[in-house]
Amino acid sequence: MSLAGLFPIDKWNFKSQSILNNLPEDEYGYLCSNMLEHRYNKGEVIFREGAVASGIFFIKKGKVKKYQVDRTGSEQIIYVANSGELIGYHAILAEERYPDSAATLEDCTIAFISKEDFLSALEKSTVLPRRLLKTLSHEFAVLINSISIVTQRSVKERLAITLIVLREKFKEGITAGGEIMINVSRSDLANMVGTGEENIARFLTEFKLSGIISTHGRKICITDVKKLIGISGCGT
Amino acid sequence: MSLAGLFPIDKWNFKSQSILNNLPEDEYGYLCSNMLEHRYNKGEVIFREGAVASGIFFIKKGKVKKYQVDRTGSEQIIYVANSGELIGYHAILAEERYPDSAATLEDCTIAFISKEDFLSALEKSTVLPRRLLKTLSHEFAVLINSISIVTQRSVKERLAITLIVLREKFKEGITAGGEIMINVSRSDLANMVGTGEENIARFLTEFKLSGIISTHGRKICITDVKKLIGISGCGT
DNA sequence: TTTAAAAATTGCAAAAAATCACTTTTTATC
DNA sequence: GATAAAAAGTGATTTTTTGCAATTTTTAAA
């Protein structure tokens, strides 16, 4: 079941932004030779909001949540980055500290590129600046969309949207016809939607009774995407 | 009364981003010679969300709101751009349609630069790409902050934050010691905070009774910034 | 200055969301 | 498989926010 034509895909960062993909051979090689690969366990923090930015991270395997922590200690998850994506570069380019924190949602393999190597690659490259400008501008549009959603839509609608987006993130690597399982904790889900765990549980129960989703332990499977799009209020 | 040290200024686009300021002489000249200046009355739409992006706009005089319109027709104002700022370039760089609409908040003078001229300047320039990357990355951090605020803070806190930010936007051109008057309609204010006009009126009355603001017709003057920072919950 | 239209304010009722306390289910470990 | 700990789910209550209707104030035009 494809979302094309049913849901405004462009407004969401569904697909990994391929900043490093198909770079000229030598530029890609230069970056690769300066990468420091590291394995992270589920739940490990990659960098923290407010820390001096030491470099950027390339997610080779796994999913990463980007979030901010508020006064009360609760998280607001802004984005879920998938394998193939680059994170942490905003801080380097803005010459500021990391604006958000990043932590793994599952076991990950992540490569580190130091600030110096990244900036040096940027300077040498013929395509990297233009590609970063494009990606950043697209991310800007996605964030604007998120702000509108969060102010103008109910918790139920936001949960529906979040599930639709997450389904795409968890699609990767599934064989055709296989069930897509969304595997995030209720707490993370609540922090993506911007509400409490209790509300999430309540609405998930409602969705389950309406035959829109099924749960298998903690995992969620969307069985009726069209109905969920209807609830989301984003249908096109 | 300065906010430095009292309020996390870095997280908000307080100052006009000076993308075009202090460009190398020839590059600035090239852009200027290709600018088409136009006067807009208060309330005029500059471009609409979803329109094919024809170029970028340089605000020479006045303030501009950037917003999205939802299903019900209500606006969500994402950002208030001040004179000196450039708008509309995200769409060009992302190679997409305008992600939001722009309309003037007061009488404005705005110069248009066509897509072709902007991209051509970008290609020729030595500093423009790097400067745009910096600005975009900073804007990204600001938007992330906005999302956290909007999900984790009450309407009252958000109104307080909005007033503090607007005060800085309206500071420009005020002689030292002069009163800073925030001059936006209750409707626009509601659309910035993400609530209804009625709530705005209610909390403004409360602020007035607490001696935090005074109103002069439609205009708002903040008389006790420190108290307002306290209410905002953003105090540092 | 007068006056009509638009904008802002206020009170009240309804709806949505958050919070707390408690139960049940799931997960991870032995 | 048993078991303890963690996570998820449920119900009741309170708080926040919304939405409507009516009134007052402000603005802009004659």
Chain B interface mutation, best of A78, A115, A140, A231, highest count of B Cβ atoms under 10 Å? A140
CB contact under 8 A, A133 and B134: no
Specify the pLDDT at position B72.
85
Tell me the shortest Cα–Cα distance from A124 to chain B, in angstroms.
13
Mean pLDDT of A127-140: 95
pLDDT at residue B51 is higher than 90 = yes
Measured in angstroms, what separates residue B199's CA from nucleotide D18's C1'? 9
Phi-psi category of A211—alpha, beta or left, where left has phi over 0 and alpha has psi -120 to 50? left
pLDDT digits (tens, 9 = 90+) for B146-194: 999 999 999 999 999 999 999 999 987 777 677 899 999 999 999 999 9
- Break chain A into its structural domains and give their ranges: 12-147, 154-232
What's the pTM? 0.95
Mean pLDDT, chain B, integer:
94
Nearest partner of A85 among A145, A159, A146, A142, judged by Cα:
A142
Task: Give the one of B99, B130, B136 whose C-beta lies nearest to A136's C-beta.
Answer: B136
pLDDT over threshold 90, residue B236: no
Higher pLDDT, A77 or B18: A77
Chain C bases closer than 7 A to any CB of the protein: 7-11, 16-21, 26-27
B68 pLDDT more than 80: yes
Is there contact between B198 and strand C, defined as CB under 7 Å from any strand atom? yes
ipTM (interface pTM) = 0.93
Instruction: Find the mean pLDDT for residues A166-170.
Output: 94
Q: Is the CB of B195 under 7 A from strand D?
A: yes
Does residue A175 surpass a pLDDT of 80?
A: no
- Give residue A107's pLDDT: 92
pLDDT at A4: 86
Q: Give the pLDDT confidence score for residue A13 in this predicted structure.
A: 85
Are the CB atoms for B127 and B143 separated by under 8 Å? no
Q: Residue B110: beta bridge partners? A: B38, B59
What band does B43 get if pLDDT is binned at 50, 70 and 90? very high
Compute the distance between CA of residue B160 and CA of residue B144 in angstroms, rounded to an integer.
Answer: 19
Spatial distance between the Cα atoms of A48 and B148, rounded to a whole number of angstroms: 15
In this predicted model, what pLDDT tens digit does every residue of A9-48 receive, in sequence order?
889 987 777 799 889 999 999 999 999 999 999 999 999 9
Cα A156 from chain centroid?
20
* Proximity of residue B197 CB to strand C below 7 A: yes
One-letter amino acid of B89 = Y
- Closest nt by CA–C1' to A199: C17
> Containing H/E element for B36?
strand B36-40
Is CATH 3.40.50.2000 the right assignment for the domain spanning B12-147? Answer: no
Q: What is the mean pLDDT of residues A86-108?
A: 96
Instruction: Check A152 against B96: CB less than 8 A apart.
Output: no
Q: What is the mean pLDDT of residues A59-83?
A: 94
The H or E element that residue A117 is part of is: helix A115-124
pLDDT at B10: 86
Q: Which of A91, A138, A194 sits opposite B94 (nearest CB)?
A: A138
* B18 confidence band (pLDDT: 50, 70, 90): confident
CA of A199 to C1' of D12 (A): 14
Query: Which SS3 state, helix, strand or coil, does residue A166 take?
Result: helix
pLDDT single digits (tens) B83-122: 999 999 999 999 999 999 999 999 999 999 999 999 999 9
Distances (CA, A) of B74 to A151, A169, B70, B128: 11, 31, 6, 36
Give pLDDT, residue A15.
Answer: 75
Q: Is B173 helix (H, G, I), strand (E, B) or coil?
A: coil
C-alpha distance across the termini of chain A, in Å: 16
User: Could you tell me whether strands B55-61 and B101-104 are parallel, antiparallel, or unpaired per DSSP bridges?
Assistant: unpaired
Q: Taking 80 as the threshold, does the pLDDT of residue A148 lie above it?
A: yes
Whether residue A73 is predicted with pLDDT greater than 90 in this model: the reply is: no
CA-to-C1' span, A187 to C26 (A)? 15
Residues 6+ apart with CB under 8 A from A105: A42, A62, A63, A64, A65, A80, A184, A188
User: What is the distance in angstroms measured between the alpha-carbon CA of B85 and the sugar C1' of D30?
Assistant: 39
Comparing A176 with A152, the larger pLDDT belongs to: A152
A154-232 — its CATH code? 1.10.10.10
pLDDT for B41 equals: 92
pLDDT given at position A179:
86
Whether residue B147 and residue A146 make contact (CB cut-off 8 A), yes or no, is yes
Contact at CB, B99 and A194, closer than 8 angstroms: no
CB contacts of B150 in chain A (<8 Å) are 147, 150-151, 194
Question: How many whole angstroms separate alpha carbon B194 and alpha carbon B142?
Answer: 17
Cβ pair A96:B138 closer than 8 A: yes
Q: Is the CB of B205 under 7 A from strand C?
A: yes
Residue A196 has pLDDT above 90, yes or no: yes
% of chain B at pLDDT higher than 70: 98
3-state percent breakdown (helix, strand, coil) of chain A, nearest 5: 40, 20, 40
- Measured from Cα to the C1' atom, the residue closest to D16 is B154
The stretch A55-62 carries a mean pLDDT of 96
Which pLDDT score is estimated for B172? 78
Closest-approach nucleotide to residue A188, Cα vs C1' = D7
Nucleotide nearest to B189 (CA to C1'): C8
User: From CA B136, how far away is CA A136, in angstroms rounded?
Assistant: 7
